[in-house]
Each structure stands twice: as structure tokens, then as C-alpha cells.
Amino acid sequence: MTGVSKTLEIRTSPHILSGYSVGSIMFNVVLALVPVALFAVYAFGLAALLTLTVAVASCVMTEHWTSKRSSGRSTVGDWSVTITGLLYGLTLPPSLPLWMTALGGVICVVLGKVVFGGLGQNPFNPALVGRATLQAAFPVSMTSWLDGFGAGRFESLPSSTLAFPFTKPLYDAVSGATPLALWKFEHVATGTQNLVMGMTSGSVGETSGLLILIGGSYLITRNMMNWRIPAAVLGAAFALSATLHFLNPEEYASPALMLFSGGLMLGATFMASDMVGSPMTNLGCWIYGAFIGLTAIVIRTWGAMPEGVMYAILLGNAISPQIDRVIQPRVYGTRPKETTA
């Protein structure tokens, strides 16, 4: 009986854990994003591959370096910064000069995450912080699009991609307009089938609504995403755009165009649902999601820009703590008014 004389470990209960960890959740989000990224490379070729690589590498390296400096221990192993890098890369135009991509990646991590205290502390989605900064700094480059499935996309790069830092990038003559820009500025509606399958122009990873939904469904079945958030975002966006379209089909885009174009699908599924920036209660998630969906459509419809998902999510992140402040579960055995928030 050698075992019985062994030193025992003691802790207080519970002594078992569910097996989920931050790392496993984040890794599965990365997995869910892989098909989206692969499709992006297929659609936009080398430009997308380089954009994604540089985006992920700049985010990961920045996090590695800053966390090593601040705590002596690199935190890239929890996979969260890989998500940031991937999402950030997927929201960029494929022809964006790579030096801008790298700069934005550093901004994502430093201004989006590190300054607030790292994982779990960031009020805003870090990927969108980086993207928003680029949008403000380089408005032309951030709205110059490449047509998908261009011939020779695996052999050559757009001339802008390798533009030298701080020079004015040259854009190829043929630059594709996104479905939203087509609608907003020319009132041309893109076919629904092309939208769903991703046969359009747009940011690196926002074009294939179908693959995004598949990735999201995977996370939902593993309980790694609160399904209420994408449901609320898409539901609210659909409700508002359908109402407008019904009232005036000439003026307002169809709900199908609204749902499957631009960053709405990617944003609703992978960015609005980011655990850190969203409310903790299910009711809160419904409110938060609906707010984002409505805001995105409002910006798209009446704002100056064709796309509004990024700002809608950032605004949603901003009100999320306020939602949590007001919406709390009613504690068992109390009446609603007794529960203080």
C-alpha cells in the first residue's frame, strides 16, 4: 500500500472542471475562421494571402513583445490575439498596402488591447480598433477594392500591395466596387446568389456569407458563441431593412443585399459575438445585438459611407457595460424590485 502514504493534494470543491479553457475556446474560433480565410485566398489570390499573413503576424508579434515586456510571459498561447489578427485581416481591402496592414496590426493590439490591460479588459474589439484607425488615416486605400476571382490573382499582386511606406499607393485601373457601394452610389443591386456565395468584391473575408455562417454554427454547437448575438444582429438588420424596402423598394436596398453584403455577416458572427465586448446576460445579448443590427442599417442607409458595421459594433461594445449595469438576472427568491444592479 505505497499509495496510501502518499501526500494528498487538497483544494476546496469543485474538484472537476468542464474542460473548457480560454485557450480551447479561442482556438476553436480560429478553426471556425479558417474556411473563411481559405475562401478569401481563393477569391483574391496572393493579395489576400499576404494581407492575412501580415495582419496575423503583426498582431501576434506585437502581443508577444508587449506581454513579454510587461509580465515576462508571452500570452500569445491563449490564441486570442490570433483571432484578432485574423479578423483584422479579414476586414481589410485585399489590395491594401502591406505596410498599412502591419501598422494597423500593431494598433489593434496596442491601442485595442494592451493599453486596457490585455485579455478580458479591452472594451472594444481590438481588430476593429485597428481597422477604424486605418479607415481614418487612409480613407482612400481603405475604400479601394479589388475584384474577386481576377485572372492571374495567384501570380501577380496588385501594384498597391507592395507600395513603399508613406508613399501614395497607385491603384490599378480596374478597381471593383463593393455591392454596398454599388447600391449606395449607383443604385445597382447585386444578385443574391453571388452575395451568398461570395462572388463579389469587398474586404478580404467578408464576401462569403455561407462559410461565415458555417463557422458560426460550429461555434454555436460547441457553446462557444452566444447564438443570440448574431441572431439579434441579423434579425434586427433584416427587420429594419425589410421594412424600409417594403415601404420604398426604389430607395432602399433589399434585406438580402443588406444581410449578405459588406461586413454584416462577418461582424455579426465573429466580432459582435466577441465575449469580452458583449453583455453577460442573454437578455443583454439580445438588446446589444439588436442595437448593432439597427445601427449598421441606419449608417448604411442614411450615413455618408456605404458600410456601417464596424462603427455599429464599436458603438455596441461601448454600450455593452451599460447594458450589463441595467440588465442583471433576477436573483432566485427575490422579487424584481429587490434586485439591485
Partner 1 sequence: MRLLGFKTFRHGIHPPENKDETRGMPIRQFPFAPMLIIPLVQHLGKPSVAVVREGQEIVRGQTIARPDGFMSVAMHAPASGVVEKIGLSPSISGQMVSAVFLKPFPGSTQEILDGEPCPLETATPDEILSAIQAAGVVGLGGAAFPTHVKLKIPEGKSADVLIINGAECEPFLTTDHRVMLEQRDDIYTGIRYLLKATGAKRCIIGVEQNKPDAIAHLREGLPSDLPAEVEGLTVKYPQGAEKMLITALLGCEVPSGGLPLDANALCVNVATTAEIGRLLPHGRGIQERVITITGPAVQKKGNYRIPIGTPLRFLLEYVGVSPDVNRVFLGGPMMGAAAPSLDLSITKGTSGVTAFTDAAAEQTHSQAYPCIRCGYCVDACPIFLNPAELGVLAKNEEHERMVNERHLMDCFECGSCSYVCPSHIPLVQMFRVAKAAVRKARASA
CB of 234 to partner 1, least distance (A): 20
Q: Is 273 in the site for partner 1 (CB under 8 A)?
A: no
Q: Which of 55, 56, 78, 128 binds partner 1 (CB under 8 A)?
A: 78
Residue 9 in contact with partner 1, rule: CB under 8 A: yes
Which stretch, 30-38, 59-67, 208-216, 330-338, contacts partner 1 (CB under 8 A)?
330-338
Which residue from 71, 120, 154, 193 is in contact with partner 1, where contact means CB under 8 A?
120
Write the Ramachandran bin of 333: left for phi over 0, alpha for psi from -120 to 50, otherwise beta.
left
CB-based contact 195:179 (threshold 8 Å): yes
Give residue 117's Cα distance to chain centre: 21
Locate 13 and state its grid cell: 470543491
DSSP string, 147-198: -TT-TTTTT---TTTTPPTTS-PPPPS--PPPHHHIIIII--PPPHHHHHHT
Give the type of residue at 283.
L
Residue 327 in grid coordinates:
440588465
Would you say 274 and 120 are in contact if contact means Cβ atoms under 8 Å apart? no
CA-CA distance, 98 to 167, in Å (whole number)?
12
When asked if residue 31 is in the footprint of partner 1 (CB under 8 A), the reply is no
Minimum distance from CB of 244 to partner 1 (Å)?
33
| Cβ-based nearer residue to partner 1, 63 or 206 | 63
By CB under 8 A, name the one of 53, 133, 217, 281 that touches partner 1: 281
In terms of CB distance, is 20 or 246 closer to partner 1? 20
Least Å distance, CB 282 to partner 1, is 7
Give me the amino acid identity at 131. R
Distance CA 240, CA 314 (A): 20
Rg (CA), the chain: 22
Q: How far is the CB of 217 from partner 1 (least distance, A)?
A: 18
Query: How far apart (Å, rounded) are the C-alpha atoms in residues 268 and 255?
Result: 15
Q: How far is the CB of 104 from partner 1 (least distance, A)?
A: 23
Nearest to partner 1 of 4, 174 (CB atom): 4
Q: Which of 82, 95, 93 is nearest to 33 (CA)?
A: 82
Smallest gap from Cβ 27 to partner 1, in A, equals 11
Phi-psi region of 307 (alpha: psi -120 to 50; beta: other; left: phi over 0): beta
Regarding 337 and contact with partner 1 (CB under 8 A), the answer is no
CB of 284 to partner 1, least distance (A): 9
336 binds partner 1 (CB under 8 A): no
Q: Which is nearer to partner 1, 116 or 238 (CB)?
A: 116
Looking at 25, 114, 234, 310, which residue binds partner 1 (CB under 8 A)?
25
Cell output for 271: 466580432
Task: Check if the beta carbon of residue 272 is closer than 8 Å to that of residue 91.
Answer: no
**Cα within 13 Å of Cα(123), Cβ side:** 12
Cell numbers 478553426 correspond to 31
CB of 29 to partner 1, least distance (A): 11
Choices 139-147, 235-243, 289-297, 322-330; region in contact with partner 1 by CB under 8 A = 322-330
Q: Which three cell numbers stand for residue 231?
A: 441572431
Instruction: Determine if 72 is a binding residue for partner 1 (CB under 8 A).
Output: no
Q: Which is nearer to partner 1, 41 or 60 (CB)?
A: 60
Residues that bind partner 1 (CB under 8 A): 1-22, 24-25, 78, 80, 117-121, 226, 275-276, 278-282, 285, 328-334, 338-341
